Amino acid sequence: MFIDVHSHLDICEEVSTKIQNAKKENVKIVTCGINPESNRKTLEIKKEFPKVEICLGIYPTDTLKISDKEIDSEIKFIKSNKDKIVGIGEVGLDLKENEEKTLQKQKDNLSKFVKLAKKLNKPITIHSRKAEEECVNLLESFGYNKIIMHCFSGKIKLVEKILENNWMLSIPTSVKHSEQFQKVIELAPIENLLCETDSPFLHPDKKFPNEPKNVIESYKKIAEIKKISLKEVEKKLEENYRKLFKDN
């Protein structure tokens, strides 16, 4: 079984077709919510397609658009659906389009979600764009290791720090043309790797939209760089997934 640990089916078109395409390729899908509306759509997908696994969370820039009271209310909502989810996400820090002044508020919000993940003993999927060091430092302060660094583009010294903490690095399908992610594969033991599509984004051939069945491209690149068989990568990453998501 191949596993796409990070996608956004709620913003994909022809969801049923994409789920069917993944099934044909023996791809298991994990889809993540990014705000209250998205979380509810994600729960509806789970209801209609029970084999799709889901995570619920609030994207860092989305946390800036709602009040603290609304964030706390959504955390309560996620807790009430804890039996339907396999993890928390997508959450994190993002300074790409935000001034530094938003950083502390983002950190406060991320802290709430890390505490939630710890309380529920669920993995947490972390977005860290243009705030990689701040993100790693904050996460370290919680001493929690069920962490997936989604699409991590930070410096190599931070990749090394992530590996020292025994967190997971999720390799997107854009690895097909990205030297950054190819380097991450070289550095990381296979025990610390998972794969993702981030559908509908990050298509392996720079197209749009991406879809979960394409996660196999990430697996192929790991096999090529690690010089092992595709079957071996498939088996090992399934073990990684089960250990992280299922051994709660």
Domain boundaries, the chain: 2-246
What span, in angstroms and rounded, lies between the C-alpha atoms of 89 and 167? 15
pLDDT at 248 > cutoff 60:
no
pLDDT at 184 > cutoff 90:
yes
pLDDT at 180 > cutoff 90:
yes
Q: Give the pLDDT band (50/70/90) at residue 101.
A: confident
Mean pLDDT of 139-162: 97
Is pTM beyond 0.85 here?
yes
Q: Give the pLDDT band (50/70/90) at residue 97.
A: confident
CATH of domain 2-246: 3.20.20.140
pLDDT at 247 > cutoff 80:
no
Higher pLDDT, 10 or 101: 10
3-state secondary structure of 228: coil
pLDDT of residue 82: 97
pLDDT in tens, 187-237: 999 999 999 999 999 999 999 999 999 999 999 999 999 999 999 999 999
What span, in angstroms and rounded, lies between the C-alpha atoms of 210 and 224? 22
Could you tell me where the beta strands, DSSP code E, fall in 21-103? 27-32, 53-56, 87-92
Structure tokens, 141: 């302060």
pLDDT of residue 246: 79
